[in-house]
């Protein structure tokens, strides 16, 4: 870094540091100055003077009888701040939510309900405080503790008008400072000017930095939602990491657990309502066929990880750790694919735009979405994403698109991993179709290079095709061994919310799937994490399952995908032969297949993790159109505006996808791992940002 630029960075850093410190003192800690200039009486109202409902009391400990404990304090004073002196008596959850009701001069005879909800965190005493904006004198304040039956709390009273402690956060200052300085360096450093050239140390360092930051973000989120993330032994086993392992080791494809007779006696066991009335437990989300349990989840992870680990150690490998590992590998290979694509096809693109595209592609891929609730559902998505990314990396770098000598070893490795991808997640078959199209295209290139040499053709076909045949036969045998048909994957026999044996596709169901998966715009407000799901039923007169609470359209998060709308106009610049080539190499895999996969989700309903099957491919198709246009654009002013808009799109994609990833807290019932430490981190992160909370 040149001395002149270092001096600029130093000057910018010093100014930024001063601003960050001033913001920390006077803005982020503004609540500490709330009582300045006013005369307020500080006092504590003991709980003995309050009216407590919804709990029984014994030796100062209150045990909830239902879902809420209401503590009504007589105040009769002017109130600017409150401190609720309560804590969980038996450990309990890391966070306790408390809503507030009050009566005041302007509303004396009945409660007004505050918009404020206090999130009281055990390890953060400052969360017991709240500022007040009541009208005139306050007569009563009711603190309503959101609880579960039999949870116990110690409640000593309510303190009014106590100064809220000043807490200087070095972490917040450091975070803002680092983001601002890194942004300045990225925008101004001369070494990043021009096109991508990874021979420049500065550019190579930025690419590595971008991947490392993405990997650390993935790790941070995964660790926040699973305290024992790096523990190899499973806490709660499931049908992939235990039941299939046990069955395969016994030499059978059906699961070992017997089906209860009560389930077999039900008129329609696939009807959820009939199963709930039979009075006996059963295996949820398993397949029931011919009186036996099966699993419809892929077996790649069983054969390559879980069963070998069990054979060696006698233990079952952690689903959470496996999901994290597959997600991390996927992230690395998607980054490698992206860099390969830019190097081969979009060399004219400015380096800074290339890096923003890298960040956008990695975050949109969905790797962070799988590690939040790492059950066997997410394991299947993560493993499918992982093997698909590896397979596509090898075929893209095999030479069939670059008019170079074709690397048959890369074609073999691509076919090998794509075969594993289908065995892990059946939707990967679409990317196998894409690869087969590319292989046929490469065969033409191979013939041009070798003059239709029969031996070379045989080598090419064997290298590129044998793994597909082998894994295809394995999948067909597995299907036949379970359900008597090589093409029956068994999804219709699921014991889940819907009866898939009766499900039929309608245009309305497909429309709901497409709108919510791709288009629905999230809502934005001041509640952490600020960007929230916005499911749209489209007035559907029927049932559509929604699995995850954060419904955000993929295109609404990844706005550059909209660039594909410009593709028809762009196609006019190419002759018929080039159009066919682009349709086979970009249109079908980048646009057509993702749209088909989205429309097929009508049966399973909505889950944001489904985007792992097609999101990064869809994004790269959009970026390809945008990069091509920018690379050939003569209007420099327009190019600058596209760059500025792309900066905003990248920031939005990162923020909105992270918000979707952390939409539920680590203590949510949607997870089943011990997340006490993670919840503490989550609360600290939330309060660092929500300084007004």
Helices in 244-318 by DSSP H: which ranges? 244-249, 261-265, 272-276, 300-301, 307-313
| Lookup: tokens for 53 | 């409902």
* CA–CA separation, 415 and 413 (whole Å): 5
Domain final residue pick, 495, 523, 541: 495
Counting as low any pLDDT under 50, the low residues of the chain are none
Model pLDDT, residue 277: 87
Q: Does one domain contain both 455 and 603? A: no
Model pLDDT, residue 123: 87
Q: How many domains does the chain have?
A: 5
Q: Quick one: what percent of the chain has pLDDT higher than 90?
A: 78
Residue 174 lies in a domain: yes
* CA–CA separation, 520 and 507 (whole Å): 18
Q: Does one domain contain both 292 and 351? A: no
Q: Does one domain contain both 602 and 512? A: yes
Helices in 613-635 by DSSP H: which ranges? 615-631
Q: Does one domain contain both 75 and 146? A: yes
Q: Which residues contact 645 (CB under 8 A, 6 or more apart)?
A: none
CA 614 to chain centre: 14
* CA–CA separation, 573 and 579 (whole Å): 9
| Lookup: tokens for 326 | 């597959």
Q: Does one domain contain both 560 and 459? A: no
Q: Does one domain contain both 39 and 153? A: yes
Please identify which residue in the block is written with the tokens 């699973």: 226
CB 680 within 8 A of CB 94: yes
Q: Does one domain contain both 198 and 184? A: no
Residue 234 lies in a domain: no
Q: Is 83 exposed, middle or buried (0-12, 13-18, 19+ CB in 10 A)?
A: buried
Domain final residue pick, 477, 495, 513: 495
Query: Cα(first)–Cα(last) distance of the chain, in Å?
Result: 41
CATH number (domain holding residue 127): 2.60.120.260
DSSP per-residue letters across 476-488: HHHHHHHHS-TT-
Model pLDDT, residue 227: 86
Give the count of beta carbons closer than 10 Å to the beta carbon of residue 70: 17
* CA–CA separation, 559 and 572 (whole Å): 24
| Lookup: tokens for 570 | 């762009």
* CA–CA separation, 275 and 8 (whole Å): 70
Q: Does one domain contain both 558 and 665? A: yes
Residue 233 lies in a domain: no
* CA–CA separation, 210 and 204 (whole Å): 10
Helices in 346-428 by DSSP H: which ranges? 351-364, 367-370, 376-396, 408-424
Give the length of the chain: 693
Nearest 10 degrees: Cα torsion 301, 303, 309, 315: 80
Q: Does one domain contain both 393 and 526? A: yes
Model pLDDT, residue 428: 96
Residue 268 lies in a domain: yes
Q: Does one domain contain both 461 and 504? A: no
Q: Does one domain contain both 572 and 651? A: yes
Model pLDDT, residue 89: 85
Residue 265 lies in a domain: yes
Q: Is 154 exposed, middle or buried (0-12, 13-18, 19+ CB in 10 A)?
A: middle
* CA–CA separation, 463 and 449 (whole Å): 17
Residue 466 lies in a domain: yes
Domain final residue pick, 468, 495, 522: 495
pLDDT in tens, 360-398: 999 999 999 999 989 999 999 999 999 999 999 999 999
- Phi, psi of 532, rounded to the nearest 5 degrees: -130, 160
| Lookup: tokens for 499 | 């009866």
Q: Which residues contact 162 (CB under 8 A, 6 or more apart)?
A: 42, 81, 83, 129
| Lookup: tokens for 621 | 């198709």
* CA–CA separation, 623 and 365 (whole Å): 14
Q: Does one domain contain both 217 and 258? A: no
Give helix 319-345 / helix 615-631 axis angle, nearest 10°: 20
pTM: 0.94
DSSP per-residue letters across 30-62: GGGGTTTT-----EEEEGGGSEEESEEEETTEE
Q: From 597, 253, 611, select the one nearest 429 (Cα to Cα).
A: 597
Q: Is 384 exposed, middle or buried (0-12, 13-18, 19+ CB in 10 A)?
A: buried
Model pLDDT, residue 673: 61
* CA–CA separation, 52 and 72 (whole Å): 6
Please identify which residue in the block is written with the tokens 């030499």: 251
3-state SS assignment for residue 519: helix
3-state SS assignment for residue 94: coil
Q: From 373, 369, 372, select the one nearest 330 (Cα to Cα).
A: 369
Residue 84 lies in a domain: yes
Q: From 373, 285, 286, select the one nearest 323 (Cα to Cα).
A: 373
Q: Which residues contact 689 (CB under 8 A, 6 or more apart)?
A: 528
Residue 205 sits in which domain range? 192-226+319-397+496-687
H or E stretch at 205: helix 201-225
- What Rg value do the Cα atoms of the chain yield, rounded? 29
* CA–CA separation, 91 and 153 (whole Å): 9
CB 321 within 8 A of CB 232: yes
Contacts 24+ apart (CB under 8 A), 103-108: 103/138, 103/139, 103/140, 104/134, 104/135, 104/136, 104/137, 104/138, 104/139, 105/135, 105/136, 105/137, 106/135, 106/136, 107/135, 108/139
Q: If you count DSSP H runs as helices and E runs as strands, how many of each does the chain have, helices first?
A: 23, 15
* CA–CA separation, 524 and 634 (whole Å): 37
Measured at the alpha carbon of residue 651, what is the angle toward residues 650 and 656, in degrees to the nearest 5?
100
Residue 45 lies in a domain: yes
Cross-strand pairs, 113: 101
Q: From 62, 231, 82, 77, select the one nearest 155 (Cα to Cα).
A: 62
pLDDT in tens, 615-656: 999 999 999 999 999 988 889 899 999 999 999 999 999 999
Please identify which residue in the block is written with the tokens 């000043």: 166
């Amino acid at each position: 870094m040149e001395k002149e630029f270092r001096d600029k960075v130093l000057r910018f850093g010093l100014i930024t540091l001063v601003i960050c410190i001033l913001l920390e003192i006077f803005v982020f800690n503004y609540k500490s100055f709330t009582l300045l200039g006013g005369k307020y009486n500080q006092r504590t109202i003991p709980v003995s003077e309050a009216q407590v409902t919804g709990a029984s009391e014994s030796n100062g400990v209150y045990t909830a009888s239902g879902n809420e404990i209401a503590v009504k304090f007589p105040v009769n004073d002017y109130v600017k701040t409150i401190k609720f002196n309560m804590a969980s008596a038996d450990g309990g959850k890391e966070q306790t939510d408390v809503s507030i009701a009050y009566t005041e001069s302007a509303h004396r005879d009945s409660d007004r309900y505050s918009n404020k909800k206090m999130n009281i965190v055990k390890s953060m005493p400052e969360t017991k405080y709240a500022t007040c904006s009541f009208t005139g004198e306050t007569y009563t304040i009711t603190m309503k503790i959101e609880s579960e039956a039999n949870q116990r709390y110690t409640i000593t009273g309510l303190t009014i008008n106590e100064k809220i402690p000043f807490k200087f956060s070095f972490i917040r200052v450091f975070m803002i400072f680092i983001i601002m300085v890194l942004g300045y360096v990225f925008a101004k450093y001369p070494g990043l000017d021009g096109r991508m050239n990874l021979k420049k140390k500065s550019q190579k360092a930025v690419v590595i930095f971008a991947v490392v930051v993405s990997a650390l973000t993935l790790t941070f989120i995964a660790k926040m939602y699973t305290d024992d993330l790096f523990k190899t032994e499973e806490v709660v086993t499931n049908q992939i990491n235990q039941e299939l392992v046990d069955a395969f080791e016994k030499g059978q494809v059906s699961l070992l657990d017997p089906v209860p007779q009560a389930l077999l006696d039900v008129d329609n066991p696939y009807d959820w309502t009939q199963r709930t009335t039979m009075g006996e437990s059963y295996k949820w989300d398993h397949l029931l066929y011919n009186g036996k349990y099966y699993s419809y989840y892929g077996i790649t992870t069983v054969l390559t990880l879980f069963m070998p680990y069990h054979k060696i150690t006698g233990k079952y490998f952690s689903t959470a750790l496996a999901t994290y590992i597959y997600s991390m590998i996927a992230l690395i290979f998607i980054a490698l694919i992206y860099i390969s694509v830019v190097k081969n096809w979009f060399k004219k693109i400015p380096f800074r735009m290339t890096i923003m595209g890298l960040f956008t592609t990695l975050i949109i891929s969905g790797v962070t979405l799988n590690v939040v609730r790492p059950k066997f559902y997410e394991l299947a998505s993560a493993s499918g994403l992982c093997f698909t990314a590896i397979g596509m990396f090898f075929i893209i770098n095999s030479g069939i698109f670059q008019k170079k000598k074709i690397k048959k070893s890369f074609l073999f490795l691509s076919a090998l991993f794509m075969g594993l991808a289908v065995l892990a997640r059946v939707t990967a078959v679409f990317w196998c179709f894409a690869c087969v199209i590319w292989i046929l295209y490469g065969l033409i290139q191979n013939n041009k290079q070798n003059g239709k040499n029969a031996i070379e053709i045989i080598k090419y076909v064997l290298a590129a095709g044998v793994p597909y045949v082998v894994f295809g036969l394995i999948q067909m045998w597995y299907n036949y061994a379970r359900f008597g048909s090589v093409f029956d994957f068994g999804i219709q026999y699921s014991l889940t919310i819907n009866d898939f044996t009766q499900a039929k596709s309608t245009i309305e169901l497909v429309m709901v799937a497409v709108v919510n998966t791709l288009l629905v715009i999230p809502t934005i407000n001041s509640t952490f994490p600020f960007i929230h799901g916005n499911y749209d039923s489209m007035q559907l007169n029927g049932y559509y399952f929604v699995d995850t609470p954060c419904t955000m359209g993929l295109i609404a998060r990844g706005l550059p995908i909209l660039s594909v709308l410009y593709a028809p106009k762009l196609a006019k610049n190419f002759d018929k032969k080039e159009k066919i080539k682009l349709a086979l190499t970009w249109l079908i895999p980048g646009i057509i297949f993702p749209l088909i996969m989205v429309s097929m989700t009508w049966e399973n309903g909505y889950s944001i993790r489904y985007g792992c099957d097609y999101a990064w491919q869809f994004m790269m198709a959009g970026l390809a159109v945008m990069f091509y246009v920018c690379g050939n654009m003569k209007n420099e002013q327009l190019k600058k505006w596209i760059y500025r808009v792309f900066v905003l799109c990248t920031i939005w994609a990162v923020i909105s996808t992270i918000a979707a990833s952390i939409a539920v807290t680590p203590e949510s019932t949607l997870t089943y791992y011990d997340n006490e430490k993670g919840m503490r981190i989550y609360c600290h992160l939330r309060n660092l940002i929500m300084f007004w909370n």
